[in-house]
Amino acid sequence: MSVPFTVGKLIDFFSGNSSAFLGLSFPFAAGLLAVLFTIGATCNAGRAIIMRLCGLRIVARVRNQAYWATLRQEPDFADRSAGDIVSRLSVDTSMMGDSVTSNLSDGLRALVSATVGVSMMFWISAKLTFVMLCVVPPVSLFAVFYGRYVRKLTNFTQEAVGDMSRTAEEKLNAFKTVAAYNTQAVEAKLFANKVDAIFNLARKEAYMTGVFWGMSGFTGNLALLCLLGYGGTLVSRGEITVGDLTSLLMYSAYVGGSVSGLTGFFTGLMRGVGASSRVFWLLDRTSAIPLDKGVSLAPTRNGRIRFENVRFTYPSRKEVEVLKGVDLSIEPGTSVALVGSSGSGKSSIQQLLCRFYDPNEGRITFDGTGEAGWRWLLTMSDIRDLTPESWRDRLGVVFQDPILFAGTVHDNIAYGTPGASRRDVERAARAANCDFIWDLPQGFDTQIGKSSLSGGQRQRISIARALVRQPSILILDEATSALDSTSEKAVNKAVESIIKEQNITVIMAAHRLSTVASAEKVIVLENGVVSEQGPYDILVGSSRNADADPHKSRSQNSRFRSLMEAQLALEKSTVNLTA
Ligand SMILES: Nc1ncnc2c1ncn2[C@@H]1O[C@H](COP(=O)(O)OP(=O)(O)OP(=O)(O)O)[C@@H](O)[C@H]1O
């Protein structure tokens, strides 16, 4: 800020208006200025470096915290808004970092420059400065409205960007489906619509920005005109010198630059406020199922699981009740098959067991202390009272569509069991009938990705992943559906022996007769309620609700029989053929 003042004094000194330069000898004053400029340059560099580093640190820290906050949400949340979360983690966080560092620093610098510049102008000529400043207020007022408008637009734009990312992510994940159905053009159009939405928002901002800059440029020129016209008059009247007028001109340019910098700061700040509100929303969101809320379940013996009048609707589809009062009981160390037509609620029961959701009514209890007789009643816990973390530690889960991550076979099997040794991993792999691993080029150290193995191989690795945890409860959702019947039999046999060995409860959702037959108890679901349950042999010989009413007459028209009719007939004909 000393430059305009110095230039004015220099002009006066050389034009003979003043006998001394800044009241000092010329070489001394020039040396002093050189020192001042060096200090200024060093501070400027320091400011830029410090602010940049602060920005990077803030972005890194906020990203980590936001990702951590996301991972601790209920699974349904991330499932529904993955694309949007990615945009919050990438774009919003960096906008937020910029806004509070380089933008803030530039803004503060502009504020100081404008204040010092205006003060210096007043000091040189209060009259002239006052005339000039009359044109500034309308621009400032406009800047405030402009900033607010930009904040609103930023929020809309970020939401639109999230929407676009979601669409792209979904379709890129299903690239083969898009290719198989030749829907590239349809998808490109859908994506273009999302891009158009972003473009339209950006266009609105562009119009507003254009008007703003046009207006502020015009105001600046008007101020300059005042300065030259009125300032020239003051020089001719001898009220100020030519050097003073030059200093004033330069200060006004500095102040003009600072004011536009302040406007940029204000809009940047508003953009940052918009982006940070989206990031803070994520950081502040409380999970519907907090991971650490409740009593930690000690790794004790296995226990009985009971569903008591469980009613459930998915949060994203509140109008459809999926489970309509499910009552069932599963003894520890037994295997149970959930059977029912597609959409009857088998996976939903398993998801509730994993506590990905909580029931709307009723409760799911676990008697984890293994007390015998009536005493187990006293030790039963509603699984909602347990921390999801400690509860899930007891579970081994294999989903319908198993996911493998980039990494080695070993890493994939040991995923979630960091302490698992190579021996543990190999034992689990053997139990899950993963013989093919030994034939891979680098065995357990072979790198695998999302799609480098067949469906059946992926399923078996997922089963090994669940077994290596040595769970109390093994949840298998159509876990062997992609296996050929020999592999399926081998896996079922291995799982059976592990159940006996380790007292594991197995709850499997299955359509295949061979898998169902391997279970000790079959629970038949129909339209969200348990319609039959009992041992396989009885249901197949067809007792209706053998558990509930063992004395009831056997019916050849049981729901289980009709579900399995085709497979039972096939089995019968195979037996006849073999005979
Ligand atoms: N995430 C979800 N959001 C909303 N509704 C869902 C969700 N998942 C499942 N549903 C609905 O809940 C009902 C029961 O689904 P569920 O997956 O439990 O059936 P299922 O018996 O396991 O079927 P399948 O044998 O085909 O796997 C279905 O009507 C389904 O449309």
Q: How far is the CA of 72 from the centre of ligand 1 (A)?
A: 24
CA distances to 354, 453, 506, 538 from 330, rounded to whole Å, are: 15, 34, 9, 17
How is the chain split among helix, strand and coil, in percent rounded to 5?
65, 10, 25
- One-letter amino acid at 217 equals G
For residue 528, the ligand 1 atom closest to its alpha carbon is: 14
**Is 489 buried (19+), middle (13-18) or exposed (0-12) by CB count in 10 A?**
middle
How far is 297 from 482, CA to CA, in rounded Å?
34
| Residues 165-199: tens digit of each pLDDT | 888 888 888 887 888 888 889 999 999 999 999 99
Among 81, 347, 397, 480, name the best residue to mutate to test ligand 1's pocket (greatest count of ligand atoms within 8 A of Cβ).
347
Q: Is the dihedral of CA 475, 549, 375, 502 positive or negative?
A: negative
Which range (75-79, 193-197, 295-299) has the least confidence? 295-299
DSSP label of 444: G
The one-letter amino acid code at 42 reads T
Q: What integer is the mean pLDDT of 506-519?
A: 82
Q: How far is the CA of 525 from the centre of ligand 1 (A)?
A: 12
- pTM of the full predicted structure? 0.74
Which amino acid belongs to residue 533?
Q
Q: Please provide the average confidence, as pLDDT, over all residues in the chain.
A: 82
Task: Return the closest-CA partner of residue 340 out of 529, 473, 171.
Answer: 529
C-alpha–C-alpha distance, residues 293 and 358, integer Å: 14
Report residue 136's pLDDT band, with 50, 70 and 90 as the boundaries: low
Q: Is the pLDDT of residue 350 over 90?
A: yes
Residue 349 pLDDT exceeds 90 = yes
Nearest CA to ligand 1 atom 16: 345
The answer to whether 509 and 338 have CB atoms below 8 angstroms apart is yes
CA distance 43 to 52: 14
Residue 82, C-beta contacts closer than 8 angstroms, at least 6 positions apart:
166, 169
576 has pLDDT over 70: no
Angle between helices 242-284 and 184-237 (to 10 degrees): 150
Residue 552, pLDDT score:
45
- Confidence (pLDDT) at 373: 52
In Å, what is the CA distance from 369 to each residue of 297, 329, 352, 362, 381? Answer: 10, 16, 21, 22, 10
Q: What is the pLDDT of residue 210?
A: 85
Model confidence band, residue 567 (pLDDT cutoffs 50, 70, 90): low
Mutate to test the pocket of ligand 1, among 313, 319, 321, 344 (most ligand atoms within 8 A of CB): 344
Lowest mean pLDDT among 344-358, 468-482, 497-511, 545-559: 545-559
Q: Is the pLDDT of residue 484 over 80?
A: no
How far, in Å, CA of 290 to CA of 391, rounded? 12
Residue of the nearest CA to atom 2 in ligand 1? 314
Residue nearest to atom 31 of ligand 1 (CA): 343
> Quick one: which of 176, 430, 390, 437 has its CA closest to 293?
390
Q: pLDDT value at position 187?
A: 93
Backbone angles phi, psi at 494, to 5 degrees: -65, -45
Name the residue with higher pLDDT: 564 or 101.
101
Task: Place 570 in a pLDDT band, splitting at 50, 70 and 90.
Answer: low
User: Residue 478 CA: which ligand 1 atom is closest?
Assistant: 27
* Radius of gyration in angstroms for the set of CA atoms belonging to the chain, rounded to a whole number: 37
pLDDT bucket at 299, cuts 50 / 70 / 90: low
Q: How many residues can be counted in the chain?
A: 579
Confidence of residue 379 (pLDDT cuts 50, 70, 90): low
Percent of the chain with pLDDT over 70: 88
Mean of the pLDDT values across residues 408-417? 90
Ligand 1: centre distance to CA 349 (Å): 10
User: What is the per-residue pLDDT for 104?
Assistant: 81
Closest C-alpha residue for ligand 1 atom 3:
314
How far is residue 159 from each of residues 59, 81, 166, measured CA to CA in Å?
20, 11, 11
Q: How far is residue 319 from each of residues 229, 307, 312, 313, 314, measured CA to CA in Å? A: 74, 22, 11, 7, 9
Mean of the pLDDT values across residues 157-164?
84
ipTM of the complex: 0.96
Ligand 1 centroid to residue 347 C-alpha, Å: 7
Q: How far is the CA of 570 from the centre of ligand 1 (A)?
A: 28
User: What is the band of 212 on the pLDDT scale with cuts at 50, 70, 90?
Assistant: confident
Q: What are the tens digits of pLDDT across the range 318-336?
A: 889 999 999 999 988 888 9
Most confident of 97-101, 208-212, 283-287: 283-287
Tell me the best of 346, 353, 475 to mutate to test the pocket of ligand 1, counting ligand atoms within 8 Å of each CB and taking the most: 346
CA of 533 to the centre of ligand 1 (A): 21
Q: What is the pLDDT of residues 215-229, one digit of tens each?
A: 777 877 887 888 888
Give distance in angstroms: CA of 81 to centre of ligand 1: 19
Lowest mean pLDDT among 44-53, 118-127, 287-296, 367-376: 367-376
DSSP 174: T
Q: What domains can you pick out in the chain, each with its CATH number?
A: 2-284 (1.20.1560.10), 294-394+473-488+500-579 (3.40.50.300), 401-470 (3.40.50.300)
Identify the residues whose C-beta falls under 6 Å from ligand 1.
314, 316-317, 322, 340, 342-348, 509
CA–CA distance, 2 with 372 (Å, rounded to integer): 88
